[in-house]
Structures are given as C-alpha cells and as structure tokens.
A and B are shown apart, each in its own frame.
Chain A
Amino acid sequence: MNDLTHDEIKTLAKAVDIDIPDELIPEIAFSLNGLLEALNQTGVENLEAIEPLPIVIPTIS
C-alpha cells in the first residue's frame, strides 16, 4: 500500500469535518502511514473470520 499523501490526509480530514493546520500535516502523515504500515506488518491472514466486537465483558477464568 502506498503512503497517504498530504492531500489525501486533508481529504480524510474534510470527510470528518475536522480542521488540521497545514503545519501539522507532515507529522500526521508520518504517524498515520507508520501506523497503517505497522498493522500490515502483522502478517495475520484470514482476519475475515474474526468479528470486530469491542471487548467490554470481563472474562472470568
């Protein structure tokens, strides 16, 4: 996956109606692209079978 560009970061911000000052765009790009890359580095396959339910119920063993 290619890194998100500064313009794409601005588009994401516009989509959620949040203002991001121009001077913060480069660092936000580093941070978000780093995070997305790190998530892709997990190498886990077949995530489709996992339900993305939030964990809020205590498990008692």
Chain B
Amino acid sequence: MELSNIPFLSTTDLSKLIQNKDISPVEATQAYLDRISNVDSDLNSYVTVCGEQALSQAKQAESDIASGKYIGPMHGIPVAVKDQFWTKGIQTTNGSTIHKGWIPDEDATVITNLKSNGAILLGKLNMSEYASGDAFHHPYGRPKNPWDLSRNPGTSSSGSGAATAACLCSTSLGEDTGGSIRGPASFCGLVGIRPSWGRVSRYGVFPASWSMDTVGPISRTTEDCAMTLKAIAGYDPKDPYTWNQPVPDYGSELTGDIRGVKIGVITERVDTEANDPEVRELVKTAISELGNAGAVINEISIPLIVHSAAISSTIISCDAAALTRKDLEQNLEQLDHNNQVRLLMGSIMPADAYLKAIKLRELLRRQILDALTKVDVLVMPTSSIPAPKIPEKAGVESKEEVLQGFKGRRSFTSPFNLANTPALSICCGFTSAILPVGLQIVGKPFAESTVFKVAYGYQSITDWHTQRPKI
C-alpha cells in the first residue's frame, strides 16, 4: 500500500494490517505526520504535533510487534487528543494563552491508558478555550470544518472533529460537558460517544463542570469508536467517581442485527419546526431505516428536554466560574471575550437560580430514565442544524439573542450530560450543501454496548461512514 493512502484506512483495518505486519507502526505514523504537514495549515486542528516522540513510540511498537509482543488492537495506532488532557513532557494549553508553555509532569489517566494499549500519540488537538462551546477567539488558530472551510467543525473538541474527519489521525479523544464530542462528530460526519459519567477517568483533564465532564472518542466508524473507548475506559483510583466494574467487550455487540431492539423517538426533538428541514428529513429517514432493519420504533415524550440548554448553562457557568476564579481575578484580559462574560456571569449567579437548575436537572433526568425503562435506546438529531458558518464577531447584543441561543445545538446534546447517560452521534446523511448531519443514539446509564449495537446496525445498512471530505 502507498504510504499516502494509510491515513484513509479505518482504525479497525489499520489495526489488522499492523497485527499482520503488513504495515508497520512507523509507516503509519509517518504517513499521518506527512498528511498533517500537508493539510493542517488549512484546518488548524493541531496545537502541537509530536513528530519525534511519535516516531520514537512507533519504533518501539514496531520492535515489540516484530518480537511477538503484540498488545492488542490499539498497538501502533496513531491517535491524537484534545489539548485539555495532561500529557507528560508535552505542552498542554486547554485552548488558552494562560496555559501556553505549560508542560505537565504526568499523563492524564486516559493518556496512560492509550499508551499502555500501545497507541502512538501524534499530537494535541485544538479546542475552544477552557472547553467552552461559546469561546470566539482561538489563540492557536481558528479550527475549520474539512467539509467546508468557512464553517465551524463543532465545539469544543473542534480539532478532534476536524483532524479525524480529514484523516489527520486514526482516531481521537474529545471531552464532552454539554455536547463537545457529539457536536464535532455531527458537524464533521463522524462517530463520537459521550460515555456514561463514571465510565472514563477524568484525572488529568482540565475540568469544566464537575458533574458533567466526560472523556470519549471521536472516530470515523462505530467499530473504531468502540475500540477506542474500550482502551480508555475503566476504574481509576485517581478519580473516585469512576465505576469499579469491568469494561465490556463492545466489539461483541457489533453484529449488525438490531431486530427487536426498542427505539424511542423523542417527539419534542424530531418532528419539530425547531429543526432545519433537511436535518429533520434525514433523521426521520434514518429512523425509518432502523425500523426497516427490524428495530421496534415508538414515540416517546420528554417534555423538559426543550429547556435543557438553560438548565445546563446555569450549572456549567457556575461550576466553570468557580473552577477559574483565580484566572478571573488575575488574568481576565487573557480570556476570550465570550468566556469573560460567561464566567463572570456564573460568578454572580443567584443561589436560588442555581438550585432551581439542579432541581430541574433532577426532573429532566427522571423523565429521561423513565423513557429508557420503556425502550432500549432513544434517538433524535444531534443538532437542529448542520455545521454553521464560523462566527464573525464575539458577544451578544440583546437578551432575546441569549434566549434564542438556548434553542440551538446545546439543547439537543446537553440533556444527556444532565442525565449522565451515554449518547452517541453517527452520520445519517448530508444536506444539499454536502454538510453532514448527525443522528443521536442515547442509552441507559452504562449501556454503551447497546448504543454501539444500534449505531453499528445503522452503519451496516448505510454508507455515510465511507464518505470523506475533499481535502
């Protein structure tokens, strides 16, 4: 195989070729480094490329595999991670100039887990400052959507979406507090999962909201996403809220057979005028296809879901303000304008409003968990719109603009951060402007296997995952 074609392989296919010694980890890593060098100046998906370290890791992997010490499916796979995760000896910025040049002396647990599974770290991916989906200024370059360079690749794991879609890494990690994995996955035509809170360690991850931050993969196929999650998930004594149970073999659920699986269609979020007409039709078609494949389709109502963005924004802005209080006092001018407004607002939030949001969260969670007692998974669009144009200015000019914002993408993804359930986005087609659209699949807490099963069942009867941007 030509070296330049390696980046376009799925992680699953590359893994088999590496295991069979048809491709060496050094060849794969060099192929990705070459492509990053050729393409990323258009995308700004990387903050730091770890060329020498990556090749050094790859040589070790090559040597180990040659001597029969093959670890498993991630061995020799070139990956990239959001710059929110500590990486020993490698700059970690959290998307901010405040942390520019900061080099951690230890790895986040997810990085340790990737390395122990033999993965090769290509570099650190660009992101919205402090993992805030609202940030306007990107100090390390504005990330672009590979499907249309004038458009947003999704926030806040912007680089994870852009790099994975453009085949600048085999698979990637993002972090999702209000939709920051599923948004980029949807806007870039990828598969991304926000696992259950407690499934993946948060240790060594710059926090945004204590009770909603979740690390997960963004990949080009369902199998790749499942493989990557398997590598990073599991109990971690450094994060006391990780679940102390074995991680299932997600791959065993990927049979393609979804006959009899009960799917609940969230009425408030599917057949609604809040959705772009093309998004609505593509998602409805996807649901019909799932039904044709043997799934049992039911309609489910979750009345509070339309208010989830306001509930989520209240809690996250307060949490983030408390987490960044020192920066608000000492480095305010270094923060992005939108983050200044959001974090200062969170600092002065009346306690009554915060407590009201927590009560509403509990009610919403009950509605979602109740719905999940009737079906195996819930489905709805990941976003009401395809990737929007990159904004031209920061700030808001009226209260009405703020209220309008609560009807957008965050009200589609944040319900499941609030409920702490797993939620995955998979591409379910393209608009007439050739922009990807995401179908969101939501499972019961810790039922990631069922979510992957349905996603793979859908992927098996469609070919959206084979489409690539022309970059």
**Interface positions of A (Cβ within 8 A of B):** 3, 9, 12-13, 15-16, 18-21, 24, 27-39, 41-42, 44, 47, 50-56, 58-61
Knowing A28-B345, A32-B349, the reply to whether A52 touches B307 (Cβ < 8 A) is: no
Q: Are B396 and A47 in contact (CB under 8 A)?
A: no
**Binary interface encoding of chain B residues 306-318 relative to chain A, with 1 for a CB under 8 A from any of its CBs, else 0:** 0101110110010
User: B341 is contacted by which of A16, A27, A38 (Cβ under 8 Å)?
Assistant: A27
Interface assignment of B70: CB less than 8 Å from any CB of chain A: no
24 sampled A-B residue pairs with Cβ under 8 A: A13-B347, A18-B325, A28-B341, A28-B345, A28-B348, A30-B401, A31-B342, A34-B401, A35-B310, A35-B349, A39-B307, A39-B310, A39-B314, A39-B356, A42-B311, A42-B360, A44-B360, A47-B359, A55-B211, A55-B361, A55-B420, A56-B211, A58-B241, A61-B447
Chain A residue nearest in CB terms to B338:
A27
Q: In the assembled complex, which residues on chain B have CB atoms less than 8 Å from the CB atom of A34? A: 399-403, 405-406
Q: In the assembled complex, which residues on chain A have CB atoms less than 8 Å from the CB atom of B361? A: 55
**Whole-angstrom distance between the alpha carbons of A10 and B401 in the complex?**
22
B373 CB → nearest A CB, Å: 8
Interface size class of B (residues with CB under 8 A): 35 or more
**Binary interface encoding of chain B residues 190-213 relative to chain A, with 1 for a CB under 8 A from any of its CBs, else 0:** 000000111000000000001100
B4 CB → nearest A CB, Å: 44
Which of B104-112, B225-233, B362-370 interfaces with chain A? Answer: B362-370
**Whole-angstrom distance between the alpha carbons of A13 and B341 in the complex?**
13
Q: Are B329 and A18 in contact (CB under 8 A)?
A: yes
B109 CB → nearest A CB, Å: 17
User: A52 is contacted by which of B243, B344, B359 (Cβ under 8 Å)?
Assistant: B359
User: B356 is contacted by which of A20, A21, A33, A47 (Cβ under 8 Å)?
Assistant: A47
Interface assignment of B340: CB less than 8 Å from any CB of chain A: yes
**Interface positions of B (Cβ within 8 A of A):** 196-198, 210-211, 241, 243, 304, 307, 309-311, 313-314, 317, 325, 328-329, 332, 340-342, 344-345, 347-350, 353, 355-363, 365, 369, 372-373, 395-403, 405-406, 418, 420, 444-447
A52 CB → nearest B CB, Å: 4
**Whole-angstrom distance between the alpha carbons of A52 and B362 in the complex?**
8
**Whole-angstrom distance between the alpha carbons of A34 and B402 in the complex?**
6
Knowing A13-B348, A16-B347, the reply to whether A52 touches B196 (Cβ < 8 A) is: no
B162 CB → nearest A CB, Å: 28
**Whole-angstrom distance between the alpha carbons of A37 and B399 in the complex?**
9
**Whole-angstrom distance between the alpha carbons of A19 and B349 in the complex?**
14
A48 CB → nearest B CB, Å: 9
Q: In the assembled complex, which residues on chain B have CB atoms less than 8 Å from the CB atom of A13? A: 344, 347-348
Q: In the assembled complex, which residues on chain B have CB atoms less than 8 Å from the CB atom of A28? A: 341, 344-345, 348
User: A42 is contacted by which of B304, B369, B396 (Cβ under 8 Å)?
Assistant: B304
**Whole-angstrom distance between the alpha carbons of A23 and B450 in the complex?**
50
Knowing A31-B402, A32-B345, A50-B359, the reply to whether A24 touches B340 (Cβ < 8 A) is: yes
Q: In the assembled complex, which residues on chain A have CB atoms less than 8 Å from the CB atom of B373? A: 61
User: A58 is contacted by which of B198, B355, B365, B403 (Cβ under 8 Å)?
Assistant: B198
**Whole-angstrom distance between the alpha carbons of A32 and B349 in the complex?**
8
Q: Are A38 and B211 in contact (CB under 8 A)?
A: no
Q: In the assembled complex, which residues on chain B have CB atoms less than 8 Å from the CB atom of A21? A: 332
Chain A residue nearest in CB terms to B372:
A61
Q: Are A61 and B362 in contact (CB under 8 A)?
A: no
